[in-house]
Amino acid sequence: MTKKEIETLVIHNSNEQKEFIQSLTPPLYQTSTFYFDNAQQGEHRFAGNEAGFIYSRLSNPTVELFEEKMAVLEGGEKGLAFSSGMGAVSAVLFSLVNQKDHIICSRGVYGCTFGFLQLLDEKFGISHSFCDLNNQSAFEKAIKGNTKVIYMESPINPTMELIDLEMVTSIAKRNKIPVVVDNTFSSPYLQKPLDHGCNIVVHSATKYICGHGDVIGGVVVGTEEYIKQLSKTMRKDIGAVMSPFDSWLLLRGIKTLAVRMDRHCENAEYIAHSLVEHARIEKVYYPTLPDFEQASLARKQMKKGGGLISFTIKGANKAKTQQFMNQLKLIKIAVSLGDPETLIQHPASMTHSVVSEKERLKMGITDTMVRLSVGLENREDILEDIYQALNQQV
């Protein structure tokens, strides 16, 4: 196939699977193990002298199809699937550091990533520094002799702060430090970190990749050499493998990634612009709003603004913010994101409750902030639900 655009790549296989008796949808190999024709074949497969499957913790054909698909979409050489986003994040971080090494992170990271960084520090003396990566001199100062990873999210949850991927990778390259990007919030449809020079991409496939709220999964994309190593050590021996059925569901979900993302973004953009005008709304955080400080960076490295919006309610406090959430009728109160349903959560008491109040406030996460994962419903219906809940408040 000649090079195709992402709207085509999400639907068609990179190498049409002739061996699957021309089945239009990928087959599900729901098996734990694979038998050998004879003992010698088993010996050769274990020795790596013959290609073929052995056992589904090592590899599985359906899981491999999902991995290949993600590698194509992210523009990387190879992918590796995990049982959850955290399975992927922890495997990548673990793979790049040794005792007493140092990790540099974006100012905000996913709550459980934060927890894993603390565990690395407590158990193995692997320290980390949170850094404003857009501040070039602060970033350069944070780099130490034992810094082995730059780890970041962009946009950062829930404030939507963006990081200039090209600026960070240029500094990291000079210092020969690999850059890992958690691309969960954007999906490869909106942002492709490898195109900006980053080395490794991780995803919680649970979110936009799945798109239907029915799978927990994770994936890593990187060079063939790196992925081979990650598979042999971190996945095979720690064992956070993705099931064939989950891979099959993800392959199904991915086919509609482009159309879903377009709708998520259109809805979110419309709702963000509308909320700015509402008297009860204090501040709206959305990357492509004209007065968002990093709107030009958003346009530079993202195709669209994404499906997530955070906002704060004027004159509210924690109780009033919770009351607003309870008054919503259509919008469900839930963490996670990227589902067809619009979801709302309260970062201070939910996703960021593990972060100390002082750190939270430094990140700009107040008690009156909520985060909306805008779904695929009619945008006026979503907005009307928010308005009726706001208007009930005294």
Interface contacts to ligand PLP, rule CB under 6 A: 84-86, 89, 110, 112, 153, 157, 182, 184-185, 204, 206-207, 216, 218
Give the span between the Cα atoms of 385 and 339, in whole angstroms. Answer: 18
Residue in 236, 240, 168, 234 with CA at minimum distance from that of residue 204: 240
Pairing of strands 179-182, 147-153: parallel
Work out the burial of residue 220: count CB atoms within 10 Å of its CB; fewer than 13 is exposed, 13-18 middle, 19 or more buried: buried
The dihedrals phi and psi of 202, each to the nearest 5 degrees, come to: -120, 155
CB of 172 to ligand PLP, least distance (A): 20
Cα Rg for the chain, rounded, in angstroms?
A: 22
Residue with tokens 């607003």: 324
Q: Which is nearer to ligand PLP, 248 or 390 (CB)?
A: 248
CB of 374 to ligand PLP, least distance (A): 15
CA distances from 95 to 146, 235, 243 (A): 15, 10, 22
> What totals of helices (H) and strands (E) does the chain contain, helices first?
16, 12
Q: Which is nearer to ligand PLP, 86 or 370 (CB)?
A: 86
CB of 105 to ligand PLP, least distance (A): 12
CB of 24 to ligand PLP, least distance (A): 29
Residue in 344, 309, 303, 311 with CA at minimum distance from that of residue 186: 303
Cα-to-chain-centroid distance, residue 285: 19
CB of 381 to ligand PLP, least distance (A): 25
CB of 113 to ligand PLP, least distance (A): 6
DSSP bridge partners of 221:
79, 201
CB of 299 to ligand PLP, least distance (A): 22
Residue in 207, 394, 217, 228 with CA at minimum distance from that of residue 317: 394
Q: Which is nearer to ligand PLP, 109 or 143 (CB)?
A: 109
CB 274 within 8 Å of CB 383: yes
CB of 287 to ligand PLP, least distance (A): 15
* CB-based closest residue to ligand PLP: 85
